[in-house]
């Protein structure tokens, strides 16, 4: 065990977060996301039983967001005609506002199939048990500055 590290961050996930370099991306996927298919060329980490918000909160404690891009946080845009509500996005925005001065401006929405294409290039995909729809989020790693 380590001090100061959220317990939800497994050794495997901590290793992946540490291995990632500047501008690498990681997807925190909801339970409906095709994690194994999209992540066939990435590291897929199972986090069944966990939701996206608690993983995002823990990851943001140790993971710098990229300051060299306008939007280091990407959300999967709701498909036209889907009438889906995304209250989970408000939770994500609050968590990011707590750690990044850009706040809501750190976010962008990416069309569903473009999100999949970008996710195929991610360093890792975390497959969660999140039941909210359109709850997928992609983070671009920045630089640790001391």
Active site residue 68: no
DSSP secondary structure string, 79-120?
Answer: PTT-----THHHHHHHHHHTT-TTGGGGEEEE-HHHHHHHHT
Active site residue 116: yes
Instruction: Give me the catalytic one of 30, 50, 66, 123.
Output: 66
User: d(Cα 117, Cα 100) in Å, to the nearest integer?
Assistant: 26
Instruction: Give me the catalytic one of 22, 68, 82, 98.
Output: 22
Taking phi over 0 as left and psi of -120 to 50 as alpha, with beta for the rest, 91 belongs to: alpha
Active site residue 66: yes
Instruction: Give me the catalytic one of 82, 98, 100, 116.
Output: 116
Which residues carry out catalysis?
A: 22, 66, 116
């Amino acid at each position: 065990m380590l001090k100061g590290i959220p317990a939800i961050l497994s050794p495997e996930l901590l290793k992946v977060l540490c291995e990632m370099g500047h501008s690498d991306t990681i997807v925190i996927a909801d339970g409906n996301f095709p994690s194994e298919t999209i992540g066939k060329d990435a590291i897929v980490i199972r986090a069944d039983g966990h939701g996206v918000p608690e993983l995002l909160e823990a990851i943001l404690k140790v993971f710098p967001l990229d300051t060299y891009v306008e939007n280091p946080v990407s959300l999967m845009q709701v498909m036209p005609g889907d009438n889906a509500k995304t209250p989970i996005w408000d939770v994500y925005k609050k968590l990011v506002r707590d750690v990044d001065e850009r706040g809501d401006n750190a976010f962008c929405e990416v069309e569903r199939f473009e999100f999949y294409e970008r996710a195929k290039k991610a360093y890792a995909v975390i497959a969660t048990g999140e039941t909210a729809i359109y709850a997928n989020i992609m983070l671009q790693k920045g630089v640790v500055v001391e």
